[in-house]
Amino acid sequence: MVGAVEELEKFDRALRLVERYESYLFQRALGIVLIICGITFPLTAFLVMKAQSMAELLDMSTEAFLAFVPTIILLIGTATIIYSFTSAHVVTSRMRKTSVWKDAPHMILMFMIWFVSFYITSYVPEPYTLVSWLWAGGFASLISYLVLKREQSNWNYPELLVIGVICLLASLPMLVIKEMQMAETFTLLVFSVSFIAGGTYSFSNASKVLNEGDRQFNSPITR
pLDDT at 191: 85
Tell whether pTM > 0.75.
Answer: no
pLDDT at 139: 92
Q: Are 10 and 214 in contact (CB under 8 A)?
A: no
Q: Are 177 and 183 in contact (CB under 8 A)?
A: yes
- Residue 144, CA distances (Å) to 160, 166, 193, 202, 213 in order: 7, 15, 19, 15, 26
Q: What is the pLDDT of residues 159-199, one digit of tens each?
A: 888 899 999 998 888 878 878 788 888 888 898 889 898 88
Q: How far apart are CA 10 and CA 145, in angstroms?
A: 33
Q: Is residue 210 one of the residues assigned to a domain?
A: yes
- Residue 96, CA distances (Å) to 24, 25, 90 in order: 15, 14, 10
Q: What is the pLDDT of residues 120-157, one digit of tens each?
A: 988 888 777 778 888 888 999 899 888 877 765 555 67
At residue 13 the predicted structure's pLDDT band, cuts being 50, 70 and 90, is low
Q: What is the pLDDT of residues 86-120, one digit of tens each?
A: 776 665 555 555 554 555 676 788 789 988 998 89
pLDDT at 4 over 70: no
Q: Is residue 155 one of the residues assigned to a domain?
A: yes
Q: Are 66 and 48 in contact (CB under 8 A)?
A: yes
What range defines the domain where residue 150 resides? 2-218
pLDDT at 217 over 50: no
Vertex 186, ends 54 and 180: CA angle to 5°? 65
* Cβ partners under 8 Å of residue 104, min gap 6: none
In the chain, the number of structural domains is: 1
Q: Is residue 223 one of the residues assigned to a domain?
A: no
Q: How far apart are CA 53 and CA 50, in angstroms?
A: 6
Q: Are 108 and 8 in contact (CB under 8 A)?
A: no
